[in-house]
Amino acid sequence: MTALTPQDFDLLSNLLKTRSGLVLGTEKTYLLESRLTPIARRRGLAGLPELVAQLRMRPSEELLVEITEAMTTNESFFFRDTVPFEVLKTHVLPQLKVARAATRRLRIWCAAASTGQEPYSIAMILNEQAAQWAGWNIEIIGTDLCKAALSKAQAGLYSQFEVQRGLPIQLLMKYFAKVGDQWQVSADIRNMVKYRTFNLLESMAGLGQFDIIFCRNVLIYFDAPTKAQVLDNLRRQMPADGSLFLGAAETVLGLTKALKPVREQRGLYIPVDSPMALAAAG
């Protein structure tokens, strides 16, 4: 089997950068090989160089999508990093409860929902407070580029390993049922979340405004200009008192002036002109 040439690598990395924002250094060649060789094999090709040769000719949209999706990293956990979900519970939701008392409407967006652990964690938090939110219209929308991840999210089926990373046993008992050797999140919680495919590089205008946006552990894969662009676009999808949660290794600093971190609320970012900021600064 022949190896990838530098030209092959460039073709693939340009393709991925354009289609999903993913930036790959040459040290990640092994990742291209391990994730894409199976796609080549399924098409009866000897290996990745042969697949790249096809890409040079007339690649079908289907193949391009398959390659883009295969290169996504879908790892997620329930209540990932704990703190952001505590901040949501103790800080963001109580403020919105007051701020939206007139409309009784809340829109929450998980912009890199992957296999669903994040939107379901939020849904469980809200369900635990169900009495407080009676009569409210609450939407949770989970989007991702990767269709395979979203169909797993929709099914709500998780392995024993997955339900033991971050999910308290009380919540497993309350909201999950054992199905074969997997665990399925209850229909009540599943029905609280609507999924659709969406690419963060596209225009977000059609999605409407969100009070809370989770965009966690996806910007890390992008280069700085792409991160900046996505952050500016996210800011436009929320009102001045909206909240944005980023992953533990992500920030707005040095990327946009439209958003700023909230002191003592790790992972939470708000518009620079947020009235919540004034409240937080005391």
Partner 1 sequence: MMKSCLVVDDSKVIRKVARRILEEMQFEIEEAVDGQDAWQQCQKKVPDVVLLDWNMPVMNGLDFLRTLRGASLDRQPVVVFCTTENDMSHIRAAIEAGANEYIMKPFDREIIEAKFAQVGLI
CA distance 43 to 128: 48
Residue type present at position 273: D
In the bound complex, what is the minimum distance in angstroms from residue 132's beta carbon to partner 1?
Answer: 24
**CB of 181 vs partner 1, minimal distance in Å:** 8
Stretch that binds partner 1, among 90-98, 131-139, 170-178, 254-262 (CB under 8 A): 170-178
Contact 230, 258 (CB under 8 A): no
- The option from partner 1, ligand SAM, none interacting with 173 (CB < 5 to 8 A, set by class) reads partner 1
CB of 172 to ligand SAM, least distance (A): 18
Q: Under the criterion CB under 8 A, does residue 180 sit at the interface with partner 1?
A: no
243-246, strands of its sheet edge to edge: 193-197, 137-144, 105-110, 212-215, 243-246, 268-271, 259-261
- Binds partner 1 (CB under 8 A): choice among 5, 26, 137, 160: 160
What are 30-36's contacts with CB under 8 Å, separation 24+?
31/71, 32/4, 32/71, 33/4, 35/70, 35/71, 36/12, 36/67, 36/70, 36/71
Q: Where are the beta strands (DSSP E) in 99-164?
A: 105-110, 137-144, 157-158
- Smallest gap from residue 46 Cβ to ligand SAM (A): 28
Binding pattern to partner 1, positions 46-85, x when CB under 8 A?
-------------------------------x----x---
Contact status: 159 vs partner 1 (CB under 8 A):
no
* Binding positions for partner 1, rule: CB under 8 A: 77, 82, 160-161, 164-166, 168-170, 172-173, 177-178
